[in-house]
Amino acid sequence: MPNTTAILLLQDGTTFTGQACGKIGTATGEICFNTSMTGYQELFTDPSYFGQLLISTNVHVGNYGIKESESESDKIQIAGLICREYTNQYSRKQADSSIEDYFIQNNLVGITGIDTRAVVRHVREKGAMNAIVSSEISDITALTNQLHAIPNMEGLELSSKVTTDTTYTIGEADAKYKIAALDFGIKKNILRNFVSRDCFIKVFPAKTTFAEMQDFNADGYFISNGPGDPAAMDYAVETVKQILNADKPLFGICLGNQILARAVGIPTYKLHHGHRGGNHPVKNLKTGKCEITTQNHGFAVDMEALKNSDKAALTHINLNDNSVEGLEIIGKKAFSVQYHPEAAPGPHDSRYLFDDFIKMMI
């Protein structure tokens, strides 16, 4: 790999210098970090990361190569990568390619060889902000001007940019349960979990009306994860309101949790620096048990508004910061969680939630 200088410039003027990885070019977006030790390919391809520059806190990225079947969508979704050690050589026999070939093929810009611990500490202290990575522009003034043109994540509607273009189905048509899934950036492993539970799923584009979904005559409805600010998704909130009025079982994950909350009048807000990693402790208030969970979100449901609501109840709480991790709608077969029970490569502590949803459809 050529030793080309790359620059990371943060919105507050903080600058880091390293080496280029992936495509030579420039990438912009909101900077965020993920603490997972494995599963970098799943992170790269998670649509919830659309429009974000990802910092990997794990030192080595790329050391076990790329295997196409482990992608969560059909392409890389992150805007760019920031890492400490970019390892192009790999020894896993099952891998299809190296990370460098994968990044070049997908036109992804990255920076390596920088102190990612220092970058993460800065983001944790100052909060999420926009940033720019470039291996083709060295003029800080030019990069600053380009950085100022990037919109803030708060107020951005991004699900319509990552959703499917056309309706499609997955699973066997004669399966026991039929699920209508609203795709705001759905991950493939969510669909795999439904298929393994004898479900036939029809996946609809983000802005599909409830009337169109209703024609499928589903046994239950699923509201997916995805990127952006839920406060900018009134179209989705209206659809979920109609699903609730139809009195069908409903399950939401991540962004789906926020949309469900807003559908019953509970607001959401932007977190200081977000929750992203594979080791977040969550307490299930109904069972009293703690689950280790995978998370990836920059917005959350307002705790006080939820506690004061007569339409929804808190079911799960984050043990790190006491934020909302799950809720259920009172008097309805509808619930959601903020974390990812389908997490790949893991942990699998929360897979029971898929089973809970199946029981609602029996």
- Could you list the active site residues? 254, 340, 342
Identify whether 205 is preceded by a cis peptide bond (ω within 30 of 0).
no
Enumerate helices (H) and strands (E) in the chain, giving the number of each.
Answer: 11, 19
Q: Which two tokens stand for residue 347?
A: 């942990």
CA dist 8 and 17 (Å) reads 6
Q: Which of 54, 41, 136, 47 is nearest to 98 (CA)?
A: 41
In whole angstroms, give the CA distance from residue 245 to residue 326.
21
DSSP assignments along 8-58, one per residue: EEETTS-EEEEEEEESSSEEEEEEEEE--SS-HHHHHT-GGGTTEEEEE-S
Q: Which two structure tokens, joined as six digits, stand for 135?
A: 């291996």
Q: Which of 73, 75, 76, 83 is nearest to 33 (CA)?
A: 83
Q: What are phi and psi of 31, to 5 degrees?
A: -85, 135
